[in-house]
Structure 1
Amino acid sequence: MGKIWNIDTEKCSTIQPSGPGVTPDGSRTLLRGQTLIGQDGRLPPVQGAVLVSKGCCVCQKAQRTRRQCSQCDRPACPSCIQQCSNCSSPCCSVCTIIDGQYEQVLCCGCSS
C-alpha cells in the first residue's frame, strides 16, 4: 500500500494536461455548455448578461407590492395572485388551475 501513495514530484510537475478543451500552453477553455466555478464556489459574472427584472413573475410589470407565491416562491403582483379555494394559500396565476365543474381556483398541490 505504501507504494501506491509514493509520488515522484519531478514527474508530476512535467505532466501536461491534454484532451478536449485544453490549449497547448496548459490553460483550459470552456467547452459548449460548460461553466467555470471560481475558488469561492460562485459563478463569475457573465459579460453582457441580462439582469432579471424585479417585477411580477407573471405580468413582468414593476410593482411595489408583491407577494410570494406559495408554490414557486416567485414574487407576483396582487392582480396576478389568486387564493386557493382548498388550502387558502396565495399562488400566482401560473401555479393555479380553475376547476371547470365547480369554478374553483386550485393550487398545483391541491389539484392533484
Structure 2
Amino acid sequence: MPPIIQTMQLFHRVLEKQNTNVHVDEHERQDNNQILVETLIIINTLSDRLQLANDHHQKLETLMTKHSELLIQGMSYLDQQRNEQFFSVRKASGEYTVVKVV
C-alpha cells in the first residue's frame, strides 16, 4: 500500500502545481480542485487502512507468539509425562537410579 499512497501524493502535488498555472481557465481549475479534494480523501483513506492493517498485524503477531509458547509448553509437558511413564527414579542405598518401567 505505501507505493499506492506515494503515487497518489505525487499525483496530488502535480495537480496542485498545474492549478497554480496562470494559463488554466476557471472551469479546468474547478475540475482540478475537485480532483485534489478526492485525491486527499483517497490518500487519507489508504493511510488509515494501512495503519489498521499494521495494528492487526501486530496483534496477530502477539497472538501467534503466545500460541507458539503455549504449544512448546504443552509439548514439553507431554514429553515429560511420557518419560515419567516409562522411567522411574528410585533411591537405593543413598543413590538415585533410573529404572525402566515395564
- TM normalised by structure 1 equals 0.20
- TM normalised by structure 2 equals 0.21
Kindly indicate which of the two structures has a greater share of residues assigned to strand: 1
Q: Which has the higher contact order (CA 8 A, sep 6+)?
A: 2
Kindly indicate which of the two structures has a greater share of residues assigned to helix: 2
Structure of larger gyration radius: 2
